[in-house]
Chains A and B, each alone.
Chain A
Amino acid sequence: MLLPLLLAIELGEGDAELIRRLQRRDPRAMAELYDRYGRLVYALTLRIVRDSGIAEDLVQETFLRVWNRVRSFEAEKGSLGPWLLAVARNRAIDYLRSAGGRMRHALELDETDHPALFTDLEAQILNSDRMRRVKNALEKLSASQRAVIEFAYFEGMSQTEIAERMGQPLGTVKTWARSALKILRDEFGVVVPA
């Protein structure tokens, strides 16, 4: 699944140029943006909402949101893929919550689509070594750890909701979440500053 994203980065022009064209409101830039990331954004959205019609609406909303907010993006350091994915995840989880009557801010997602925090990402992460590590890291998780990550990431559930769903004490779920994220972080080779 990472391959399209990787190919998009390697074969296409750099994100910086694409961002500048989006900022100039060039519709062809929007077509390129969609061709690079549309499948990835759609796959993530569909995985979350599990309804192709709703996923289409949310993907459209995601791309239009980026189109309307791209002016605040720093073109020189820009990295659109992870930003798009974060916006897409937010839209989809917001939909799940509103459709399910869940609290909108059960999770703190308010800043996850802040463009400035997504600068300079792809060049660091999207190479074949990282791709291999994704699979390795997920395979190292226990079934419980993986379930917590899946519930949190793809279902947008809070730790309390996960504890209820899994019938486990909240403390146990918190431990699984932290240990799982630590394994993922270590495997990805993401260095947390001392």
Chain B
Amino acid sequence: MNCDELRDHYELYAMGLAEEPESGEIRAHLERDCPTCVPAMRRARELMALLGATAPPAQPPARLRRRILAAVTDEPARRWSWTPVWVAVAAAAVIAAFFFNARERRAEAELARVEGESSAQTRELARLNEALAILNQPDARQVVFGAGAPLPPRGRVFLDPKRGVLLLASNLPQAPAGQAYEMWVIPKKGNPAPAGLFQSAADGTALHVLSGPVDVTATGAIAVTLEPAAGVPQPTSKPLIVAAL
């Protein structure tokens, strides 16, 4: 890029807002002491200095002056001494420690975030794999629920004797804070068995998998209730979904 193309970007650069490719171009022009860009950048710096000087006035405490001077007064002003070297080394060490410490903290936070994301994605992938495995079984039993109901939720339940139960639902509003949906496998005889907690997505859809063998012939229905987020051993509310087999 030539200097003319960069003329609107000097202030953005000085402020830290310039983007590529302009930012890299300006840097390259400055590095080669471009006779146009160097003075233009100085003027942009003037602007930044003046902006900085518009900060509301504030009086630093007297101890700050003492602290700063104490940091340098041990260092005699003379021709040669190891002291300035050691002070410089110490200052560099402090700055490096500050920098690396901060960088390490940022790296750790970033790592934790990526690990969190990665682990969430792995879990989601595993869940989808389980769901697909159930869908792919030729002998999976399919039950439709909520069809024609004026107030959905609606959807489908797939039961595979070897792989488990897959619930696909829509129109399922997000559970209130502190609550979750709980799926139940209701046998033809006996009490409902808890089959896992899940939440619906913002668009009202939900996918929930109960992995593991399920006795399809003994199952009378799959149901879903709204329960405390920690789950309960037996349903405490009226089912929102009942898919009778």
Contacts and interface: CB of A to CB of B under 8 A. Distances in A.
Contact of B77 (A26, A64, A104): A26
Given A42-B64, A82-B45, A188-B50, A193 B3 contact: yes
A42 B58 contact: yes
Size class of the B contact interface (CB-based, 8 Å): 35 or more
A112 interface: yes
Contacts of A156: 16
Interface stretch (B6-14, B126-134, B135-143, B197-205): B6-14
A157 to B, nearest CB: 9
B188 interface: no
Contacts of A60: 64, 67-68, 71
Contact of A43 (B15, B56, B65, B75): B56
B132 to A, nearest CB: 36
Most buried by A among B7, B19, B60: B60
Contacts, number: 190
A86 B45 contact: yes
A104 B102 CA distance: 10
B233 interface: no
Interface residues of A, number: 75
Contacts of A30: 68-69, 72
A86 B75 contact: no
A111 B77 CA distance: 30
A27 interface: yes
A89 B60 CA distance: 16
B42 interface: yes
Interface of B: 3-4, 7-8, 10-19, 23, 27, 30, 36, 38-61, 63-65, 67-69, 71-73, 75-77, 84, 88, 91-92, 95, 98, 102-103, 105-106, 109
Interface of A: 1-2, 5, 24-27, 30-31, 34-35, 38-40, 42-44, 46-47, 52, 55-56, 59-61, 63-65, 67-68, 81-82, 85-86, 88-89, 93-94, 98, 101, 104, 107-109, 111-112, 117-121, 124-125, 130, 134, 138, 149, 152-154, 156, 158-159, 177-178, 181-182, 184-185, 188, 190-194
